[in-house]
Amino acid sequence: MPEILRGAGVSPGTGYGPVRTIAGAVPEPPAGAEHGGDAAAERETALAALDAVAADLESRGARAAETGNKDGQDVLNAQAMMARDPGLADGVQAKIEEGTAAARAVFEAFGVYREMLAGAGEYLAARVTDLDDVRDRAVARLLGLPMPGVPASDEPFVLVARDLAPADTAVLDPAQVVAFVTEEGGPTSHTAIIARTMGVPAVVALPGATGIADGTPVLVDGTAGTVRPDPSEDEVAAAHAASAARASALEVSTGPGTTRDGHAVPLLANIGGPKDIEAALAAGAEGVGLYRTEFLFLDRSTPPSDAEQEEAYREVLEAFPEGRVVVRTLDAGADKPLAFLPAPGEEPNPALGERGLRMMRRHPDVLAAQLGALARAAAGRTAKLQVMAPMVTDAAEAAGFAAACREAGIEHPGVMIEVPAAALRADDLASEVEFFSIGTNDLTQYACAADRQVGGLAHLQDPWQPAVLDLVAPAAGAGIPCGVCGEAAGDPVLACVLVGLGVTSLSMSAPSLPLVRAALVRHTLDECRQAAAAARAARSAEQARTAARAHLPALATLGL
């Protein structure tokens, strides 16, 4: 094993613990597999496996409840009941008596339930995934394979995976996971975004990560993007000391965002729903700069009702009575597929396909329903509601969106600047809407023609690329308020550069707020401008970073 493994650091901080790897999919046991002839013994093996799966799920449920995750316990207990279902046991027994091997018998018996559930309406159909998980656990046990999904552990661990699915991360307890390491994923993949939202250090795009043996202690540095297997005690102590020093500098980082000379830069939070409000408030967010509404509806096969939407929006508006809440309309497609808004047929390049606002041309009713729910949620609230569209390309699209907003009674329409064409013609778009918000994740993806989901292109998915900064400049200079809500805003050094380019607010995952606030208040607007000019004059992302830092002398006091 090499001394140190390098990937892309996407969520800062250090984490130390033993590796636990998410196992891959459990294969279907071959059709026609037969047991050796002792049906009674085979039946006993099968039923014991189901029983063990149920017991394991119940004990995971009890652990979830201890950490206050009552909903998690309910789901796990319901799964345990599926494993203990007497009808299922009868089905398994009947198959075994016909000669079928235990693993295949379990697989087929689950199949009968699966079909019943799948055809039984939306709520029950959604349980098919839970049922499949129970089946896979039983089959894995019978075939001697590792358990699928996030492994159980009695001690905090470093979670290693090829990539993380939203379903894997939903049940994670941040107190148990000390770091994420994945083979796939770029700096703007949703693994990275989730890691930052949870405040867990993370390294992505690390080749061979899943080859690290389970149980190996590793030291993960989410700032440097490194993973050191079997570190010495001194190395672990030094890493913990550095993060403790930074933590104490951050404790005094409070209040509204400003440069040292008093130039106000509101610092806002990126959220995926009401569940993220608490962390945003705790980190001192002055409002919400990006409400990713599609995160509310990721696992739905039908559109959410008007009332449901209104409630989810109202809760957020009420949490920031004196602030602003910038809501993004559904950004379905590409890296954020929504089951109830499928792409129109096979798209060879989903990132260049009908995603975001483009999809709403086919579904004007979905957009109108969302805008209507937003307008009703804002009625009578003091928070300022601003609504923006994702993936806008030109002035005509901006004008169309503004008209839809006006019709729904939304007073402050805006657009995201994510497409290079929109950035280059920002002046045209600025006359149609009230504000811009630059999505640097997609802007970088499109400027550098590097799919954000391809781990091997992490070096090109870097918002420090001078070409990306060249695209930020015209949007920030178009004469209307212009925030940044891509992950670039959460990089404390780049945040200073963005302010130097004329950006008027910054929105990021809650855990990034204190460090950005601390970096900004230590520098003047003029220093930020000089850093921005130096970065744009550089010829590579690396040089841009170095050049900017030379004009931001107080970064060192933050250990940056």
Residues noted as catalytic: 190, 485
- Taking CB under 6 A as the criterion, which residues in 327-346 touch ligand PEP? 331
Q: Could you list the beta-strand ranges (E) of 235-330.
A: 267-271, 288-292, 324-328
User: Is 21 among the residues that bind ligand PEP (CB under 6 A)?
Assistant: no
Q: Show the site string, 393-422: x = touches ligand PEP by CB under 6 A, - = not.
A: -------------------------x----
User: Residue 385: helix, strand or coil by DSSP?
Assistant: strand
For 403, residues 6+ apart whose C-beta sits below 8 A from its C-beta are none
Taking the complex as a whole, the smallest distance from the CB of residue 402 to ligand PEP amounts, in Å, to 20
Burial of 292 (0-12, 13-18, 19+ CB in 10 A): buried
Selected from 176, 440, 504, 505, the binder of ligand PEP by CB under 6 A is 440
| Binding segment toward Mg ion, per CB under 5 A, in 117-125, 411-419, 498-506, 538-546 | 411-419
Q: Which does 491 bind (CB under 5 to 8 A by kind): Mg ion, ligand PEP, none?
A: none
Given its phi and psi angles, is residue 474 left (phi above 0), alpha (psi -120 to 50 degrees) or beta? alpha
Say whether 358 counts as a known binding-site residue. no
User: Residue 226: helix, strand or coil by DSSP?
Assistant: strand
- Taking CB under 6 A as the criterion, which residues in 443-472 touch ligand PEP? none
- Taking CB under 5 A as the criterion, which residues in 226-285 touch Mg ion? none
Sheet with strand 177-182: strands edge to edge: 5-6, 226-229, 217-221, 14-21, 157-161, 177-182, 202-204, 8-11
User: Is 142 among the residues that bind ligand PEP (CB under 6 A)?
Assistant: no
Query: Residue 157 in contact with residue 19, Cβ under 8 Å?
Result: yes
Selected from 64, 194, 377, 485, the binder of ligand PEP by CB under 6 A is 485
| Binding segment toward Mg ion, per CB under 5 A, in 153-161, 165-173, 434-442, 449-457 | 434-442
User: Is 92 among the residues that bind ligand PEP (CB under 6 A)?
Assistant: no
The Cα 493–Cα 547 span in angstroms is: 11
User: Is 439 among the residues that bind Mg ion (CB under 5 A)?
Assistant: yes
User: Residue 488: helix, strand or coil by DSSP?
Assistant: helix
| Binding segment toward ligand PEP, per CB under 6 A, in 35-43, 152-160, 211-219, 434-442 | 434-442
Helix then strand then coil, % of the chain, to nearest 5: 50, 15, 35
Q: What is the 3-state secondary structure (H, E, C) of 153-214?
A: CCCCEEEEECCCCHHHHHCCCCCCEEEEEECCCCCCCHHHHHHHHHCCCEEECCCCHHHCCC
Taking the complex as a whole, the smallest distance from the CB of residue 292 to ligand PEP amounts, in Å, to 5
Say whether 425 counts as a known binding-site residue. no
The Cα 190–Cα 66 span in angstroms is: 28
Taking the complex as a whole, the smallest distance from the CB of residue 487 to ligand PEP amounts, in Å, to 7
| Binding segment toward Mg ion, per CB under 5 A, in 8-16, 378-386, 436-444, 547-555 | 436-444
For 267, residues 6+ apart whose C-beta sits below 8 A from its C-beta are 256, 257, 284, 285, 286, 505, 506, 507, 508, 513, 516, 517, 520
- Taking CB under 5 A as the criterion, which residues in 3-62 touch Mg ion? none
Taking the complex as a whole, the smallest distance from the CB of residue 183 to ligand PEP amounts, in Å, to 21
Q: How many residues bind ligand PEP (CB under 6 A)?
A: 11
Say whether 522 counts as a known binding-site residue. no
| Binding segment toward Mg ion, per CB under 5 A, in 19-27, 99-107, 281-289, 413-421 | 413-421
Q: Which does 378 bind (CB under 5 to 8 A by kind): ligand PEP, Mg ion, none?
A: none
Instruction: Please give the span between the terminal C-alpha atoms of the chain, in angstroms, as a whole number.
Output: 29
* Partner residues linked to 343 by β-bridges: none
For the annotated binding site, the residues are 292, 328, 418, 441-442, 452
Applying CB under 6 A, the residues found at the interface with ligand PEP are 188, 290, 292, 331, 418, 439-442, 485-486
Applying CB under 5 A, the residues found at the interface with Mg ion are 418, 439, 442
For the annotated binding site for Mg(2+), the residues are 418, 442
